[in-house]
Amino acid sequence: MSDQSYISHVHLKSPPKRTPKAEYATYFGLILMLALPVQCLVWLGSALRHMHLPAQGPLARALRDAEEITPSIFRP
């Protein structure tokens, strides 16, 4: 049998660094504020073009955009 007690003491990688919540919230808020007017125009254009209200409102679309974009800023 091989002795594997040494391997349990070796750390191959350090744990990933966590992004501070305040920094994440700041970027999320900025992206949300920039995305909201754009999504209002897109939502209005879609409503006028198709003559019915889209399933998602402009706030839901802007939140989705902010949720998709913000994590990509902090990826290595």
| Higher-scoring residue by pLDDT: 71, 14 | 71
Report the alpha-carbon distance of residue 69 to residue 59 in Å, rounded.
Answer: 15
Q: Which one-letter DSSP state was computed for residue 13?
A: S
Tokens 């006028």 belong to 48
Quick: pLDDT tens for 21-32.
999 999 999 999
In the predicted model, what is the mean pLDDT of residues 42-59? 94
Please enumerate in sequence order all residues whose Cβ is within 8 A of that of 67, keeping only pairs 6 or more positions apart, or say none.
28
Please enumerate in sequence order all residues whose Cβ is within 8 A of that of 28, keeping only pairs 6 or more positions apart, or say none.
66, 67, 70
Which among 31, 29, 26, 54 has a CA at the least distance from the CA of 41? Answer: 54
pLDDT classification of 15: cutoffs 50, 70, 90: low
